[in-house]
Each structure stands twice: as C-alpha cells, then as structure tokens.
C-alpha cells in the first residue's frame, strides 16, 4: 500500500499502549467508530507487540508505528508488521532505512528548511508537529504557500481536537490529521472502549460533512 492509502480517511489515531492486551480491543473500538487507521507509538515496551497483535487480529485497520526516533526502531516496526511509520522529527538515519526498505514514512517538520530537507530525502507526506504549539492552522497555511507546487502534503498533529478539525481540513495541502484525543492513555488504561468509539465517531462525522 502506498502512503496516500493510509490517509484516505483523513484521520490517524495516535495511541500509546502500555499493555499489549489492550491493543486489539482498542483497534476494534476505533473501527466501531468508523476509523481504520491507528499509529501505535514506540514509547512503551508494548509497542511492537501491540502492532503485531493488531495486524494479526484486526485486519480491517491499517497500523503504523509512531515516535520512530532511530533506524533500529524502524527495523523493529517493520519486523512487527507496521505498514507505515511516523517520526516527530526529521532524521536522516530514519529516512535512509525507511527508503531502503520501501517503508512509507511520515517525518515531522515545522520549518521551511525542514520541509526542504524532507523533500530532498524523498518524503512527500510530512507530519506538522507540534501543530497547535507552533502556530496552528495559520502557520501551516503560511508554510504550505511556497511548497504547494511540490506536491508536499501535511499531517498536522499535536494539540488538535474534533473542534479544530474543519479549519485544518480546509487547507488543500492537508492530507490527514493526527491526534490522540480519541484514545487518551487514561481511557485505554480504564478499558473505556465505548467512550473511545464515541470519541472516534465524532470526528468521523465532521470529516464526512466536510467532504460534502
């Protein structure tokens, strides 16, 4: 699958999963809310196991690995079955191994220089992170200006919630939005799958209204 196919629904749920046993019910809760894309962050010991479990048991959802900081983590993510990778920043070592393995990767950028470096390294889908802290939708629009013709697309992430979605989705260079608000760590720890499903259904409804 290519990079675009994972972003078709225009929303990526960023999840921090401590217990591998929570991975499958969480993926099912997102699916029940209508979302078929999850990014499991490499911030916990259970990340690789969670990705493998979701790949094995919940085939309808696309699974990415997030917070990839090193080449070694990219290898682990691919080994676990991740279908795409996300990084908070732009690392040449991460880009190199991802390109070598033909692994779709969305590196993080915030400045024009970083966008140019990312384009040089072959990335076209860039995480704009941390979006809300670094000027939000206005900063993103300004950044998109000189790069629109390059075909670059952004995945703003960081501090975004359902209410902010329409503003971001209106920017033509926005491929998708990333966020953890549908599956906060606390909700996962409480196994509050019902609440996660309803927090997922809400942005999915907003996105389908924006499309009309």
- How far, in Å, are 8, 114, 130 from residue 164 at the CA level? 19, 25, 14
Residues numbered 52 to 81 that lie near ligand 3PG (CB under 6 A) are 66
Residues numbered 140 to 159 that lie near ligand 3PG (CB under 6 A) are 157-159
15 has which bridge partners? 40
Tokens of 160: 């975004």
Site for ligand 3PG (CB under 6 A): which residue of 3, 96, 181, 195? 181
Is 19 an active-site residue? no
For ligand 3PG, give the closer residue by CB, 57 or 199: 199
For ligand 3PG, give the closer residue by CB, 34 or 159: 159
Exposed, middle or buried: residue 121 (CB in 10 Å: 0-12, 13-18, 19+)? middle
Tokens of 55: 């790949």
Least distance in Å: CB of 130 to ligand 3PG?
7
Site for ligand 3PG (CB under 6 A): which residue of 162, 179, 182, 199? 179
Residue indicated by tokens 């970083």? 114
Residue indicated by tokens 């401590």? 18
Least distance in Å: CB of 34 to ligand 3PG?
18
Least distance in Å: CB of 178 to ligand 3PG?
5
For ligand 3PG, give the closer residue by CB, 33 or 66: 66
Site for ligand 3PG (CB under 6 A): which residue of 64, 85, 136, 178? 178
197 contacts ligand 3PG (rule: CB under 6 A): no
* Cβ proximity of 133 and 154 under 8 Å: no
Please tell me the distance from the alpha carbon of residue 171 to that of residue 61, in angstroms, as a whole number: 26
For ligand 3PG, give the closer residue by CB, 41 or 91: 41
Q: Are strands 11-15 and 177-179 parallel, antiparallel or unpaired?
A: parallel
For ligand 3PG, give the closer residue by CB, 149 or 186: 186
Cβ-based neighbours of 187, under 8 Å, separated by 6 or more? 195, 196, 199
Which residue ranges make up the site for ligand 3PG (CB under 6 A)?
14, 41, 66, 129, 157-160, 178-181
Active site (catalytic) residues: 39, 127
């Amino acid at each position: 699958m290519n990079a675009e196919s994972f972003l078709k629904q225009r929303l990526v749920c960023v999840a921090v999963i401590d217990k591998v046993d929570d991975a499958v019910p969480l993926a099912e809760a997102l699916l029940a809310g209508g979302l078929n894309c999850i990014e499991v962050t490499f911030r916990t010991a259970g990340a690789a196991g969670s990705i493998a479990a979701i790949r094995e048991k919940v085939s309808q959802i696309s699974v990415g690995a997030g917070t990839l900081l090193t080449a070694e983590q990219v290898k682990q993510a691919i080994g676990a079955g991740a279908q795409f990778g996300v990084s908070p920043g732009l690392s040449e070592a991460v880009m190199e191994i991802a390109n070598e393995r033909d692994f779709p990767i969305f590196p993080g950028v915030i400045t024009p220089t970083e966008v140019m470096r990312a384009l040089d390294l072959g990335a076209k889908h860039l995480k704009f992170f941390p979006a809300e802290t670094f000027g939000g939708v206005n900063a993103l629009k300004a950044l998109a200006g000189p790069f629109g013709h390059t075909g670059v697309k952004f995945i703003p992430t960081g501090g975004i919630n359902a209410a902010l979605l329409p503003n971001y989705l209106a920017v033509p260079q926005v491929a998708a939005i990333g966020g953890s608000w549908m599956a906060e760590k606390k909700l996962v720890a409480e196994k509050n799958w019902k609440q996660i499903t309803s927090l997922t259904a809400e942005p999915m409804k907003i996105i389908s209204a924006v499309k009309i």
